Chains A and B, each alone.
Chain A
Amino acid sequence: MAALEVDRVVKSYGLRRAADGVSFTVEPGEVFGLLGPNGAGKTTLIRMIMDIIRPDEGSIRALGAPVATGVKDRLAYLPEERGLYQKQRVADVLVFLGELKGLPHHVARRRADEYLDRVGLLETRHKKMRELSKGMQQKVQIAAVLLHEPALVILDEPFIGLDPANRALVIDLLKETAARGAAVILSTHLMDQVEALCSRILLIHEGREVLAGSVREVKERHADNSVLIETDAPLEGRPEVERATPAKNGLTRLSLRVPPEKLLAALVAEGRAIRHFERALPSLEEIFLKATGAAP
């Protein structure tokens, strides 16, 4: 059973379609990237999944049931516009949010401590939220989302405001959550995090699906005849090479007029030393910019 099934969902605001027939599924144990430029309709889609707003057409089933039923307790949602009760104590806020997800009071209290410990903030449990830095509050929010051990987690821009060390901590937490069998949906603009975490992605633009599939598939689909190479052979002026540009780590990126294997065979036949040879796949960022028409 899929953790989430979104089927031809439509939502309009006046004349504008924020979601226009979007369909996708997310499987248990998977980290799924929901991508799109600002205003693409991601937040609308997420709010429909969480039953905060209702779709005009189409259906959404989470964990095998419509969200309006009792299934909400097994979902978790970290919205982009977020904050916690500033005048309340950290542990009290977590216990309240845990109880709202159906945890008994004593379990919520224990889990609050466990998850605060996990994000390195156990000593702040008696402090008021407003006494915490923005980054610390962000980690408390992540703890609040995960403490009831949900089966489907949706995070909208979870890395905003986090330094690299805390970003790594959150990535670890999300990986653990997926390893436990939960489905994780990540909506972010940070493409390197998507590449590091997500097995599949869906890119939407103006409410419509633009591309979907596993990260590898998407990249291969958008790959051109380019390779990354490190060799002692002179590359400029070769008939196979259309253009050579320097790339990272001392490699050279070649745009080819022939399939890559032909160049490889030619270099081997010439007895050249080849230290690195790899198909150059486009980065998700390049694909994102191209697909949304924002590429220069």
Chain B
Amino acid sequence: MRKILVVARHEFVTTVRRIGFLIVTIGLPLLMGLLGGGVLLLNAKSMTEEHAGIQGARLGYVDRSGLAPAEHPRGADWKRYDDADSGRRKMAADGVAILILIPEDYLKSGKIEALTTRRPSITSIGETYVPQVFVDWLVRRVLAGTAEDRVARARHPVEDPVIQFILPDASGPQATERPEDYYRRLGTAFFFLILLFLSISVVGGYLIQGMADEKENRVLEMVISSVTPGQLMAGKLIGLGAAGMLQVVIWSILGVSTVVMSAVSFALNPGLFIFCAIFFLFGSLLYGSLLLGIGSLGTNQREAMQYTWVLNLLMALPAMLWFIVLAEPQGVTARVLTAIPLTAPVTMMARYAVDPAGTPTWEILATMAWLGLWTYLGLRFSAKIYRVGLLLYGKRPTPREIWRWLRA
């Protein structure tokens, strides 16, 4: 055990003292925050300006609908044309930015054409180019002769609807929730899904890079004359696991959590962090041991990465399918991903965070036991390959050789 701790401390200290670690740990979230914040601000500014530009633009229109005439709203300096051609010809000279064509069959089809000299920016793609004041004017004309209060209601038939979601296991009138509570859980679950995925991936990255460095530096034979390959593997998993954890804690404190908390109102439940820590432990031990075992067959970092891409893909699967997992935490996809050992930690974390009441306790416990079993098997399997793979320099083992090591 002492030797495992010596290896763990060495791995931890040498990793966190690297300049690269500091740059990634502190620089990356700062950069992301600055860039992300900057882009959001610019987007919001450009959207507001474009919207205001459309709403305040001088309008021209051609009305062939035959609807009852009405006065232009107060302050509206609109220009009426007899036909589309003359409107098009004259709009530039008249300072008209948007020309609206109301066709003969408008009442039946509701179709409106808008010709505009304005070019949309990427942020204003959804704009209709028909200002709200013109829409209101049309409503009044359609409902000509109707009382003013009814016209007002027709313009907003539903004001601030009160929505309650009935929970899947609803058993009485209490079992409902407001949308904002649901969105809060969704945001929280997304945060934990990304946090857990990132932290396990970061540990994996350190492990594979460290092992490749040791192989390329030819230091391993000297090290394993002092410790067993199993002790070395355990020490690396603990030391680099701690370094990865430290990085994620710093990220959470520095910026990631702030961004998430400000974007979506965020439910910080300490229980979720404990849940996250447990699944981090299982996830990083299983993924890390398999990475070390299979990665040790490569003679350098490039080869190690070639051998382990399937593991990386599996690890990333819940993060790629987040929208399905979060939308249907008890659905087939989420359950299948919970059954696959490498995708189970992140999936179960997300399922529990988004739907704590609906995720059965037995399934959580069974997943932990299942992961415990696979982590044990993964460690044993990898220790056997790692023991021999460590000393492979420049020679690729055949599948038959690997099979022999596994049986040894």
**A-side interface residues toward B, CB under 8 Å?**
47, 50, 52-53, 72-73, 75-79, 81-88, 92, 96-97, 99-102, 141, 144-145
Shortest CB distance A285–B (Å): 28
Residue among B6, B221, B388, B393 making CB contact with A100, cutoff 8 Å: B6
Kindly identify which residue among B18, B222, B226 contacts A82, using a CB–CB cutoff of 8 Å.
Answer: B222
- Determine the distance from Cα of A15 to Cα of B275 in the docked complex, in whole angstroms: 52
A145 to B222, CA, bound (A): 9
Q: Is the CB of B217 within 8 A of A86?
A: yes
- Provide 29 A-B residue pairs closer than 8 Å at the C-beta atoms, listed in order of the A residue: A47-B391, A52-B221, A52-B391, A53-B388, A76-B225, A77-B221, A78-B222, A79-B221, A79-B225, A81-B218, A81-B221, A82-B221, A82-B222, A83-B218, A85-B214, A85-B219, A86-B213, A86-B217, A87-B18, A87-B213, A88-B14, A92-B14, A96-B10, A97-B223, A100-B6, A100-B223, A100-B226, A100-B227, A101-B226
Beyond A81-B393, A83-B219, A100-B6, is A52–B224 a contact (Cβ under 8 Å)?
yes
A sample of 12 more A-B contacts (CB under 8 A), given A81-B391, A86-B213, is A52-B391, A75-B225, A77-B225, A82-B219, A85-B14, A85-B213, A96-B10, A100-B7, A100-B223, A100-B226, A101-B226, A145-B222
Contact status B217-A73, CB under 8 Å: no
Q: Are B222 and A79 in contact (CB under 8 A)?
A: yes
Q: Which residues of A contact B14 (CB under 8 A)?
A: 85, 87-88, 92
Q: Which residues of chain A have C-beta atoms less than 8 A from B213's C-beta?
A: 85-87
Residue of A nearest to B388 (CB): A53
Task: Report yes or no: A72 in contact with B217, Cβ–Cβ below 8 A.
Answer: no
Chain B positions 221 through 246: 1 when the CB is less than 8 Å from some CB of chain A, otherwise 0? 11111110000000000000000000
Given A84-B219, A85-B219, also A99-B225 (CB < 8 A): no
* A73 touching B226, Cβ below 8 Å: yes
- A129 nearest in chain B by CB position: B217
Interface residues in B, total, Cβ within 8 A = 22
A83 touching B227 in the complex, CB below 8 Å, given contacts A96-B6, A100-B3 = no
CB neighbours (8 Å) of B218 from chain A are 81-83
Q: How far is the CB of A234 from chain B (nearest CB, A)?
A: 59
**Given contact pairs A85-B213, A86-B217, A96-B6, A77 touches B391 in the complex (Cβ within 8 A):** no
A85 to B10, CA, bound (A): 12
A141 to B225 alpha-carbon distance, docked (Å): 14
Nearest CB in chain B to that of A67: its residue = B225
| Residue ID in chain B nearest A83 by CB atoms | B218
User: Which A residues are in CB contact (< 8 Å) with B219?
Assistant: 82-85
- Specify the chain A residue showing the minimal Cβ separation from B224: A52
- Expressed in whole angstroms, the Cα–Cα distance for A77 and B2 within the complex equals 21
User: In whole Å, how far is B219's beta carbon from the nearest beta carbon of chain A?
Assistant: 5
A75 to B217 Cα, complex, angstroms: 22
Instruction: List the B side residues contacting A84 at CB < 8 Å.
Output: 217, 219, 222
Measured between alpha carbons, how far is A294 from B218 in the docked complex, in Å?
31
Smallest Cβ distance from B385 to chain A, in angstroms? 14
Contact A72 B221 (CB under 8 A): no
> In whole Å, how far is A249's beta carbon from the nearest beta carbon of chain B?
42
Q: Which residues of chain B are within 8 angstroms of A79 by Cβ–Cβ distance?
A: 221-222, 225
Q: CA A83 – CA B393 in complex, angstroms?
A: 13
Contact of B217 with A97 in the complex, beta carbons under 8 Å: no
Fill in one digit per residue for B1-24: 1 if any A CB lies within 8 Å of its CB, else 0: 011001100100010001000000
The distance in angstroms between the C-alpha atoms of A30 and B78, with both chains bound, is 109
Q: A154 CB to closest chain B CB, in angstroms?
A: 8
Report chain B residues within 8 Å CB of A78.
Answer: 222
| Minimum CB distance partner of A79 in chain B | B221
Q: How far is the CA of A52 from the CA of B217 in the complex (A)?
A: 18
How far is B14's CA from A77's CA once the two chains are assembled, in angstroms?
24
CB distance from B226 to the nearest CB of A (A): 4
CA distance A91 to B393 in the complex (A): 27
B222 to A97, Cβ gap below 8 A?
A: yes
Q: Which residue of B lies closest to A54 (CB)?
A: B408
Q: How far, in angstroms, from A21 to B227 measured CA to CA in the complex?
A: 27
